[in-house]
A and B are shown apart, each in its own frame.
Chain A
């Protein structure tokens, strides 16, 4: 049913429909409204979950780890510093193959402290062994949580999923969303049946010490599962479309006017909405431009990116995060896709923008398309304010 509501409220509603057994979170802007809503639902009796108010994010993640290990569906949400504080637990959850689902309301990383949106937080945890799917708008944010549980709890997968949505832009933005009905959710998402769990009827030890003779195979196994999941995502997308009538294709990328494009921007998250505006406007003027939107960042869809961009002469990657001391994260993946291949763009330029919540406007996108020419840009910031870069310290 179509509703006009704040992103956070929409997320809380869809989580309610998934009926997790245990919810545990620690407040951090801009995730707060999601968790407050869920607390309200538990208090009113609408949602029969155990709600555990913890004393830190490290404990929030640990609580959901323990609950998931006991065989119940769980939920947590965080951003930025909170995600970083839970980092070791995040890796732990993936290593223990527990199907935790988390919302990451993307926010910039301290220092300096900044509560506004960029994607440095989740991207910095890309090695953890979690799926990472990025929503462009609140409809996707809602739908991706249903898909997340379905994917995580699949007996062939059993890996945690992080659904990433841009903080404030999506969490606090009001949009029209077709909210999934409970009977359809029940059809799409079966009850969680754990492959392994703590149970006095059949005791098990979890989290053992693995010496060099045993450790590496566990990493291989997660890598393999990620690789196989590229096809499971298509499978699940088809099931989703059958039940809800929304087609996310392969859940890996979205090609927007890429087919005959001469210039394509690769980007992830809500900024793609802005980019689509510019693409439409430019196309109406006869300019052949397009957008390749990354949906699944982990596993990274190399083959799909290759397919989409192999005939595009000029590609610009617009990262909303930065890997200090090296090239930008998504740009690096896109460049690796084409290395050693016969076909591919002649120019792959890399731009970083929108950090700390600095607005990426239509002008920014025009600027990117303008700078995407025959001279490749290895790495550059966009929308930098040079007047702020006065020398403060020094002799």
Chain B
């Protein structure tokens, strides 16, 4: 039976919303991070991960470049840089 359109999360990879970025992306400086986890908490995409100080990172496949993490970081350790500038592959 074809059935209703139900979906299991394990079968869903999500859209590559990183392609939405046109202006800027967050750059994690990894200098003064105190591992407060606010960047992880505030990301609407939930694509920030990390545990230790100076070890938080963004999954750029999904990051839309909204800038909330840069705005919330109490140590200003995240800055928005131009999307056109080269990105280090992690």
Check whether chain A touches chain B (CB < 8 angstroms): yes
Residues of A within 8 A of B (CB): 95-97, 155-158, 195-196, 202-206, 208, 210, 214, 217-218, 220-221, 224-225
CB contacts (< 8 Å) of B2 on chain A: these are 217-218, 220-221, 224
| Residue contact A208 to B8, C-beta cutoff 8 Å | no
**Hey, which chain B residues are within 8 Å of A217, CB to CB?**
2
Contacts of B3 in A (CB 8 A): 97, 158, 195-196, 221
**Given A206-B4, A208-B5, list of 18 further CB < 8 A pairs?**
A97-B4, A156-B1, A157-B1, A158-B1, A196-B3, A196-B4, A203-B8, A204-B6, A205-B8, A208-B6, A208-B7, A210-B5, A218-B2, A218-B4, A218-B5, A221-B1, A221-B3, A225-B1
B residues apposed to A, CB below 8 Å: 1-9
Asked if residues B1 and A202 are in contact (CB atoms below 8 Å), the reply is no
24 examples of A-B residue contacts, CB within 8 angstroms: A96-B4, A97-B3, A97-B4, A156-B1, A157-B1, A158-B3, A195-B1, A196-B6, A203-B8, A204-B7, A205-B6, A206-B6, A208-B5, A208-B7, A214-B5, A217-B2, A218-B2, A218-B5, A220-B2, A221-B1, A221-B2, A221-B3, A224-B2, A225-B1
Complex Cα–Cα for A157 and B5 (A): 15
B residues near A204, Cβ cutoff 8 Å: 6-9
> Considering residues B1, B4, B6, B7, which has the most beta carbons from chain A within 10 angstroms of its beta carbon?
B4
B12: nearest chain-A partner, CB-CB: A205
Instruction: Tally the A-B contacts, defined by beta carbons under 8 Å.
Output: 42
In the bound complex, CA of A41 to CA of B5 (Å): 37
In the complex, how many angstroms separate the beta carbon of B29 from the nearest chain A beta carbon? 37
Question: Smallest Cβ distance from B9 to chain A, in angstroms?
Answer: 6
B residues in contact with A155, CB < 8 Å: 1
Assess whether B7 is in contact with A205, with CB atoms less than 8 Å apart: yes
- Write the chain B residue with the least CB distance to A215: B5
B4 touches A95 (CB 8 A): yes
Which among B3, B5, B9 has the highest number of chain A CB atoms within 10 Å?
A: B5
Residue in A203, A221, A224 whose beta carbon sits within 8 Å of that of B9 in the complex: A203
Task: Tell me the bound Cα distance from A256 to B20 in angstroms.
Answer: 68
- Complex Cα distance A220/B5, Å? 13
What is the chain B residue whose CB lies nearest that of A94?
A: B4
Residues of B contacting A196 with CB < 8 Å? 3-4, 6
**How far is B2's CA from A155's CA once the two chains are assembled, in angstroms?**
11
Using Cβ atoms and an 8 Å threshold, which residues of chain B touch A210?
5
Residues of B within 8 A of A195 (CB): 1, 3
- Residue numbers in A under 8 Å from B5 (CB-CB): 208, 210, 214, 218
- In the bound complex, residues from chain A placing their C-beta under 8 Å from that of B7 are 204-205, 208
| CB nearest neighbor in A for B2 | A221
Enumerate chain B residues within 8 angstroms of A158, measured Cβ to Cβ.
1, 3
The 5 closest A-B pairs by CB, nearest first: A221-B2, A97-B4, A96-B4, A205-B7, A206-B6
CB neighbours of A205 from chain B (8 A): 6-9
Kindly provide the distance from the CB of A226 to the nearest chain B CB, expressed in whole angstroms: 12
B10 to chain A, nearest CB (A): 8
- Which residues on B sit within 8 Å (CB–CB) of A95? 4
B10: nearest chain-A partner, CB-CB: A203
Q: Which residues of B contact A224 (CB under 8 A)?
A: 2
Bound-state Cα–Cα, A203 to B4, Å:
15
Q: Which residues of A contact B8 (CB under 8 A)?
A: 202-205
Task: Give the complex CA separation of A326 and B13 in angstroms.
Answer: 50
Please report the C-alpha to C-alpha distance between residue A95 and residue B3 in the assembled complex, in whole angstroms. Answer: 9
Tell me the smallest distance from the CB of A224 to a CB of chain B, in Å. Answer: 8
- Give the complex CA separation of A157 and B1 in angstroms: 8
Nearest chain A residue, comparing its CB with the CB of B8:
A204
Q: How many Å from the CB of A204 to the closest CB on chain B?
A: 5
B-side contacts of A157, CB under 8 Å: 1
Bound-state Cα–Cα, A95 to B5, Å: 9
Instruction: Report B71 CB to chain A, min CB distance, Å.
Output: 31
What is the distance, in angstroms, from A347's C-beta to the closest C-beta of chain B? 42
List of B residues within 8 angstroms of A221 by Cβ: 1-3
Closest to B1 in A: A156
What's the nearest-Cβ distance from chain A to residue B61, in Å? 21
Complex contacts, A203 vs chain B, CB 8 Å: 8-9
